[in-house]
């Protein structure tokens, strides 16, 4: 049995995203501001996931008090991105399940209307994804990725008729929860990391994490909802530039999270 399925449209986006990342790195190294080189902004609508209680290895299972990203803060980021004519991807996940959120369709429509040059990317665990939801989603969303937990679930998902970009694969839970404390068994990597070109990870309270692995946002470089700086001014600060420059040079000693990281972005 296949362990993944990708339609042609998703393959197109996959290649486009890789191209954007490469191009972003090139322009950054030539001196362009980081905000002009990013390809995706992930706005985690909340810290809630319907599978958190059964996926004990997932950071969502340790989320603590419930949080949602306030609508006014989502609109702030969208308006800031509008000013720079952002043409990349907007997603609504980090360690939350976006289809759990009753605001999802409305927020996705708002983003689509206000950032017409951007794609909407939905990453879901697929629990609520049925044919009717797919039919409604594809009017707003450009591509969907689903982590399928179990072979039967993968078989069910592959049978869905989805005309936007669609990718589903058999999921597995890794040891990312212990990556902070250096107990990971992964081999220390010196491979360059393109984290901010891959995505800017905005947690529900506005913390910008280092990447998807920074689930506790312990290493957040700044909070985009506090203070009066625009989203672009926040990520154009010297902290972000220095951090990304070190990682591009292959220096993963920069913090414990990166030290223990085998991920290649």
Check residue 176 for interaction with ligand SF4 (CB under 6 A). no
The residue within the footprint of ligand SF4, chosen from 47, 89, 195, 232 (CB under 6 A), is: 195
Residue closer to ligand SF4 (CB basis): 235 or 258: 258
| Least distance from ligand SF4 to the Cβ atom of residue 258, Å | 3
Check residue 177 for interaction with ligand SF4 (CB under 6 A). no
Check residue 49 for interaction with ligand SF4 (CB under 6 A). no
Check residue 213 for interaction with ligand SF4 (CB under 6 A). yes
DSSP 199-245: -EEE-TTSEEESSTT-TT-TT--EESSSSS--HHHHHTSHHHHHHHH
Q: Are 119 and 237 in contact (CB under 8 A)?
A: no
Closest listed residue to residue 84, CA positions, set 128, 124, 32, 48? 32
Near ligand SF4 by CB under 6 A, which window of 6-14, 90-98, 122-130, 207-215?
207-215
Residue closer to ligand SF4 (CB basis): 137 or 258: 258
Check residue 261 for interaction with ligand SF4 (CB under 6 A). yes
What is the token pair recorded at 184?
């990971």
Residue closer to ligand SF4 (CB basis): 59 or 126: 59
Near ligand SF4 by CB under 6 A, which window of 76-84, 118-126, 200-208, 256-264?
256-264
Near ligand SF4 by CB under 6 A, which window of 1-9, 14-22, 205-213, 228-236?
205-213
Q: Are 180 and 18 in contact (CB under 8 A)?
A: no
- Give 17: exposed, middle or buried? Use CB within 10 Å, 0-12, 13-18, 19+: buried
**Percentages of the chain per state (helix, strand, coil), in multiples of 5:** 40, 15, 50
Cβ neighbours around 12 below 10 Å, total: 12
Strand ranges (E), 4-115 = 4-6, 40-43, 89-91
The residue within the footprint of ligand SF4, chosen from 52, 137, 211, 224 (CB under 6 A), is: 211
| Least distance from ligand SF4 to the Cβ atom of residue 189, Å | 7
The residue within the footprint of ligand SF4, chosen from 108, 201, 210, 234 (CB under 6 A), is: 210
Residue closer to ligand SF4 (CB basis): 159 or 190: 190
Judged by the rule CB under 6 A, the positions of this chain that interact with ligand SF4 are: 193, 195, 210-211, 213, 247, 252, 257-258, 261, 263, 265
């Amino acid at each position: 049995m296949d362990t993944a399925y990708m339609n042609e449209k998703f393959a197109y986006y996959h290649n486009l995203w890789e191209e954007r990342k490469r191009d972003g790195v090139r322009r950054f190294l030539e001196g362009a501001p980081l905000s002009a080189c990013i390809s995706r902004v992930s706005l985690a609508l909340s810290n809630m996931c319907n599978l958190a209680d059964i996926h004990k290895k997932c950071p969502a299972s340790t989320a603590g008090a419930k949080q949602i990203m306030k609508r006014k803060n989502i609109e702030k980021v969208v308006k800031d991105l509008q000013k720079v004519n952002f043409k990349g991807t907007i997603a609504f996940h980090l360690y939350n399940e976006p289809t759990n959120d009753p605001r999802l369709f409305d927020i996705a429509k708002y983003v689509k209307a206000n950032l017409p040059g951007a794609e909407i990317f939905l990453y879901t665990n697929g629990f609520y994804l049925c044919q009717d939801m797919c039919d409604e989603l594809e009017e707003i969303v450009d591509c969907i990725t689903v982590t399928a937990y179990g072979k039967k679930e993968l078989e069910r998902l592959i049978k869905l008729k989805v005309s936007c970009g669609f990718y589903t694969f058999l999921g597995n839970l890794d040891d990312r929860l212990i990556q902070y404390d250096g107990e990971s068994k992964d081999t220390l990597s010196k491979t360059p990391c393109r984290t901010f070109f891959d995505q800017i990870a905005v947690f529900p309270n506005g913390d910008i994490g280092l990447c998807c692995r920074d689930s506790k946002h312990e290493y957040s470089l700044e909070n985009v909802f506090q203070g009066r700086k625009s989203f672009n001014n926040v990520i154009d600060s010297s902290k972000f530039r220095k951090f990304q420059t070190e990682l591009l040079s292959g220096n993963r000693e920069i913090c414990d999270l990166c030290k223990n990281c085998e991920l290649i972005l």
